[in-house]
Amino acid sequence: MRLDIFLPFLRKAHKKFPLKEPGLPIRVVTNFVPRSLLSDHEKPKAGTLRRLLKKIGPSWLSSPVRRIIQTICFLLFLVFFFHTCWPYTARPVPNPNGWPSHYADDLLQKEWVQAELFLIIDPLVSISTAIAAKTWIWSLWWAIWIVGVCVFIPRGFCGYLCPLGTLIDMFDWAIGKRVDRFKIEKDGWWVHLKYYILFGCLVASLCGVLLTGFVAAIPIITRGMLMTLAPLQLGLAREWHQIPAINAGHIFSLVLFFAVLGLGLLRKRFWCRYVCPSGAVFSVFNFFRASERKVESTCINCNKCIEICPFDAIKADFTTRTADCTLCQTCGGVCPTHAIKFVNRGDKIDLKIENDPPTNETPLSRRGFFGAAASGSALFAGINRLSGANLGAVGYRNLPVRPPGSVPEKEFLQLCIRCGKCMKACPNDVLQPMGFKKQGLEGLWTPEVVANWAGCEPSCNICTQVCPTAAIRPIPMEEKRFVRLGLAEVNKQTCLPYAGKEACQLCVDECASAGYHAIEFERVHVEVDEGGAPLEDSGFVAPVVLADKCVGCGLCQTRCHVINVKEKKKLTWTAVEIFAGEGREDRLMNGSYKALREKERHQRKAEMNKRQQESGASGTYNVDFLDDSKNEETSNADGLPDFLKDIGGGSDNSEALPEGE
């Protein structure tokens, strides 16, 4: 079994070094490409294609198949992130069921492949998350699949699929190779650092602290794109004022992202070679490899393979560090004697003598693993005691409002990998990454609803569809409308009608437009005549939140903040605000939110009937919270609900709000 897909070094035939038949991909290409573009192996003379590949770069000339696959995967990653997760291609359409779903429908139309594909095939994401949460997560099936593929193409994820590796290659080509000042020796204590980081992450996961988001390959590049290019896309495609402000968490993320790229100043692909714990997972499973790189006795010790290897997988004797080899086959294309082959693991035909010259390999250190375990335990202790979430020690007003479908907070922090995918897909940037203020390092970069900026769209469930670890449960639209993110509270000290300043019904109108009808009026500051009877039309009508109908979408808070605080400057802080906490939000690991509302409805009905019977009254109460006819307006002639006709099919406030809110 030969897996040669590299472009062989072009040379003349020699008795000692006979020419070998090229691999299957090369043979296929020669059958479809005009002969005028191909090389003449008899003279030998490079053809047009070979000369073009040489100009692009030596690795393209050596292994064009690998480079083409790398490029396709990198472009797919960009498409998933910047197109599939770009919510503003959605357009409101009439919905015969009376509830908008255009954001959700738009994602379904674009998502021919799961937008979170690269996140779910990073095995470290799935493995560490499952360990931290002490549960099976659905993306583990993908981890098993990719590890199974890499049995036949060892560390193929790193050599062919990983978009972070491709981005690092681009950085090394553009900047790294031009800066020699910071270059370090090839061998040192760092050569096995990725194993120690992996071990430390797993130890921390066992303790319930998830560090994957800080060090796993795909979360790093996904969050890096969110912090760097996503704001640029938003500003160019919409308006610059719609970009949310940055916090200390943003800055820390940018520093980490550019530090990963900047390691290329030390050595080419330093991160991939020595640091990346995702790569370490594949290196561990390389023990079960079915194929590997072999070197035949015709090797002349020219050193070209060592110089071009992007993963430092070739020993000083030119044999293979099997744990590090990705079968990228770049080395095969520069070997002047065609001594390198990629075959099944058991191939022993005419191989080079090992340890000639001596390799003096740096062994794995038990001290390093003990240090990693201690570091993981120390991080667990430090995060929980010094910068943890302190879930039971803070008031409900300091709790973050999480996305719809989020699991309970403890499990949420154990499942969320801080990749930022949900935030990229969220229309109007309702979801934004947390900084250090509320939950310290443990809550850093996790998504929270910032209702002062925007409210959760009734027609959107995208965040629930793109989460790779089910920290946000995947819920359909018919369930999403019943999910409570929090509960709106009106500050009667500052609310304009309650304060007796002026009439205002912004929150009531916004809630009705969204279709929830969870805020009603009560009359306050009513004047009375001499007989104590209220004067007609005196006082103000003020908002009252109906707790059984409010889902905490934050649209009311957004409108109050934008108009009364930002635009008219009548308030210093919004008078209606969404708060999470026990009894105010739904945080279920499983089950139906609609069924939960139904259960609450029956409980209220039973309590009302019981109180009525105790008071001696007759009849029964009928609480129809889930009766859509009582919560929605009748449809207009176009089939669009009346509550949408003034807002274009949904409560997308982005066009009308100043400052991008």
Q: Which domains does the chain have, with CATH numbers?
A: 24-95+112-288 (no CATH), 399-477 (3.30.70.20), 483-526+537-591 (3.30.70)
Name 351's bridge partners: 296
Q: How confident is the model at residue 642 (pLDDT cuts 50, 70, 90)?
A: very low
Give the closest residue to 544 by CA, choosing from 556, 553, 535, 533: 556
pLDDT tens digits for 191-214?
A: 888 998 998 889 888 888 888 889
Strand 576-579 versus strand 487-490 pairing type: antiparallel
> Could you tell me which of 569, 490, 558, 554 has the C-alpha nearest to residue 522?
490
DSSP percent split of the chain into helix, strand, coil, nearest 5: 45, 5, 45
Report the alpha-carbon distance of residue 300 to residue 429 in Å, rounded. 59
Q: What's residue 18's pLDDT?
A: 72
Which band of pLDDT confidence, cut at 50, 70 and 90, is reported for residue 277? Answer: very high
Q: How far is CA 530 from the centre of its chain?
A: 66
Sign of CA dihedral 621, 625, 626, 627: positive
Helix (H, G, I), strand (E, B) or coil at 218: helix
Q: For the chain, what is the mean pLDDT?
A: 85
Structure tokens given for 155 = 């560390």
| Amino acid identity, position 105 | D
Residue 280 has pLDDT above 70, yes or no: yes
As a whole number of angstroms, the distance between CA 560 and CA 570 comes to: 10
Crossing angle of helices 277-285 and 123-133, rounded to 10°: 100
Per the CB < 8 A criterion, the answer to whether 628 and 98 are in contact is: yes
Digit-coded pLDDT (tens) for 127-170: 999 999 888 889 999 999 999 999 899 999 999 999 999 999 99
Average pLDDT estimate for 463-486: 93
Q: Could you tell me the two tokens for 305?
A: 């393979």
Which of 44-48, 578-582, 647-651 has the least mean pLDDT? 647-651
Per-position b or e across 307-324, b if 16+ CB within 10 A of its CB: ebbbbbbbbbbbbbbbbb
Contact 198, 124 (CB under 8 A): yes
d(CA 518, CA 507): 10
Q: pLDDT at position 211, please?
A: 87
What is the pLDDT at residue 366? 65
CA–CA dist 488, 576 (Å, integer): 6
Q: In the prediction, which pLDDT does 395 show?
A: 67
Position 651 scores a pLDDT of 38
Average the pLDDT over each of 177-191, 521-535, 615-629 and give the range with the smallest value.
615-629
List all residues 6 or more positions away from 205 whose beta carbon is below 8 Å from its beta carbon. Answer: 128, 129, 131, 132, 211, 212
- Size of the chain, expressed as the number of residues it contains: 661
Rounded alpha-carbon distances, angstroms, from residue 450 to 196, 400, 454, 455, 553: 38, 9, 7, 8, 10
Work out whether the CA dihedral 145, 149, 154, 156 comes out positive or negative: negative
The string of DSSP letters for 20-55 reads -PPPHHHHHHHHHS-GGGS-BTTTTB--HHHHHHHH
Q: Is 164 exposed, middle or buried (0-12, 13-18, 19+ CB in 10 A)?
A: buried
Tokens of 318: 């030119």
Q: Name the band, by pLDDT with cuts 50, 70 and 90, for residue 641.
A: very low
In this structure, which amino acid lies at residue 354? Answer: E
Task: Say how many C-beta atoms besides its own lie within 10 A of residue 357's C-beta.
Answer: 10
Paired tokens of 95: 């919905």
Mean pLDDT, residues 364-385: 62
- What is the structure's pLDDT at 372? 63
| Mean pLDDT, residues 336-341 | 90
Distance separating alpha carbons of residues 448 and 468, to the nearest angstrom: 17
What three-state secondary structure class fits 71? helix
Tokens standing for residue 456: 């959760």
* Res. 495 pLDDT band, cuts 50 70 90: very high
CB 218 within 8 A of CB 406: no
Task: Kindly list the distances between the CA atom of residue 324 and the CA atoms of 19, 284, 350, in Å, as whole numbers in the listed order.
Answer: 28, 9, 23
Q: Is the pLDDT of residue 121 over 90?
A: yes
List C-alpha distances in Å: 642 to 468, 511, 512, 629.
37, 13, 10, 13
**pTM of the complete model:** 0.86
Single-letter code of the amino acid located at 267: R
Please report the pLDDT score of residue 19 as a whole number. Answer: 74
Q: What is the mean pLDDT of residues 419-440?
A: 92
Residue 116 predicted with pLDDT over 90: yes
Reduced to 3 states (helix: H, G, I; strand: E, B; else coil), residue 67 is helix
| 13-40 residue pLDDT tens | 777 777 777 777 777 777 888 887 887 7
Contacts (Cβ under 8 Å, ≥6 apart) of 28? none
**Average pLDDT for 47-57:** 89
CA-closest candidate to residue 460, choices 504, 499, 430: 430
Q: How far apart are CA 220 and CA 419, in angstroms?
A: 7
Residue 20 phi/psi, 5-degree rounding, is -115, 155
**CA-based nearest residue to 508, from 481, 539, 542, 531:** 542
Give the pairing of strands 340-344 and 447-449. unpaired
Ramachandran region of residue 113, left (φ > 0), alpha (ψ -120 to 50) or beta?
beta
Sequence-distant (≥ 6) Cβ neighbours of residue 531 within 8 angstroms: none
C-beta separation of 563 from 509 below 8 A:
no
